[in-house]
């Protein structure tokens, strides 16, 4: 299988969730066991030698591949969620995203100074959600932070928001 095959399996939905947005629907990738296995294999090969101890998935689409990758890497899985969804003490980061203001939270004891963290989400567009997630993990003094997306919308230049010391990878790239 190839990156082109995976790319062609992503469904484009115009004007969702608001007019003017070209939504990249990754559920079509997950419907095929071959596509799902290929994504899992690509992610595993990319991170298997990085010493990852925690995979952090961002609600909700970071929960699709995040736990699978954590299992394959023999790492823990940590959810970052919207306010009010985590039952224990949290730290929060507010941010602006494509469609307005929002906030995310993580349990205050989910990551420590010895953790090597991979933050995973489905899509890099303008970068607001991941920047907030990176700030949360950084506040927890992780030893090293990696960032991964399944898809990057290159024209929106979200990658430029991240510091040079963070290794940021994507699998599939679309202009818009």
Q: How far is CA 126 from CA 29, 143, 146, 161, 176, in A?
A: 22, 26, 18, 9, 11
d(C-alpha 2, C-alpha 29), whole Å: 13
Q: Which of 46, 61, 72, 159 is catalytic?
A: 61
d(C-alpha 124, C-alpha 153), whole Å: 6
Residue 100, both tokens: 């307005």
Q: Which of 59, 72, 81, 98 is catalytic?
A: 98
Respond yes or no: is residue 98 known to be catalytic.
yes
Respond yes or no: is residue 61 known to be catalytic.
yes
The pair phi, psi for residue 20, each rounded to 5°, is: 100, -15
- Annotated catalytic sites, by residue? 61, 98
């Amino acid at each position: 299988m190839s990156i082109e095959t995976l790319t062609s399996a992503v469904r484009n939905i115009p004007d969702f969730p608001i007019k003017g947005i070209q939504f990249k629907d990754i559920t079509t990738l997950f419907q095929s066991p071959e596509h799902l296995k290929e994504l899992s294999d690509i992610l595993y090969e990319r991170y298997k030698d990085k010493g990852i101890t925690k995979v952090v998935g961002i609600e909700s689409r970071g929960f699709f591949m995040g736990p699978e990758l954590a299992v394959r890497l023999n790492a823990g899985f940590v959810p970052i969620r919207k306010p009010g969804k985590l039952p224990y003490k949290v730290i929060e980061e507010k941010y602006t995203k494509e469609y307005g203001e929002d906030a995310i939270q993580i349990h205050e004891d989910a990551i420590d100074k010895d953790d090597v963290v991979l933050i995973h989400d489905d899509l890099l567009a303008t970068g607001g959600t991941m920047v907030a997630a990176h700030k949360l993990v950084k506040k927890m003094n992780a030893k090293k932070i990696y960032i991964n997306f399944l898809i990057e919308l290159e024209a929106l230049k979200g990658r430029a928001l991240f510091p040079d010391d963070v290794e940021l990878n994507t699998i599939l790239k679309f202009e818009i």
